[in-house]
Amino acid sequence: MIATHAAPASPAFASRSASLGAIFQRLAERSARPRYAFMVLNLISEAAGTRGMAGPFVERAGTRLPLRDWLAGELMPLSGRDSRREALRRRIVAELAPRLTGEAERDAALIEAAVEEEALAVGKANVSRAVTDLVRAGLVRRHYAGRITDHPNRGGKRLAVYAVDAEVMAAIRTRTTLI
């Protein structure tokens, strides 16, 4: 069973008026990739539901995934168009060359699985960087839920839990659907 206790509230954003413009401004000031960080914020808000807290797991279509894996998976289509994905594929083909059998279907499946695994790992690292920017901007609080105890630091098989500031949730949800 995963323990989930809320982290203490952060007044970082409370002093500013909550609007999308204010959120964009904070991200522009504190993130090297503000658009990506905003996409991550939207997905976290979606997963948070009415509680304002997302994680440690997200359940979609009967599948239960760790939050960070789900976020990276949701953002994966964006990286598929990038020339870096093709460079990653070439690197993996070179690494797997000794294990390839010459059987086209089997080799293609092996290569595709390795590319997806590596892309997911890169995506999870990108999500972590974006969440760090969101925490730094005071838009999200992060803690880690453990099997037995929660902790402010990761490790010990603890999984991330993100809490979106109430004013930020209100600003994002001023429309009938998330942005």
The β-bridge relationship of strands 63-66 and 140-145 is unpaired
Lowest mean pLDDT among 5-9, 69-73, 136-140, 165-169: 5-9
Q: Could you give the C-alpha distances from 153 to 2, 3, 7, 68, 143, in angstroms and in order? A: 15, 14, 12, 15, 7
Cβ within 8 Å of residue 62, ≥6 positions away:
none
Kindly state the DSSP code that residue 80 receives in the 8-state scheme: T
CB 1 within 8 A of CB 104: no
- Output the six-digit token pair for 10: 């952060």
Q: pLDDT by residue (tens digit) across 39-68?
A: 999 999 999 988 899 999 999 889 999 999
Evaluate if residue 15 carries a pLDDT over 50. Answer: no
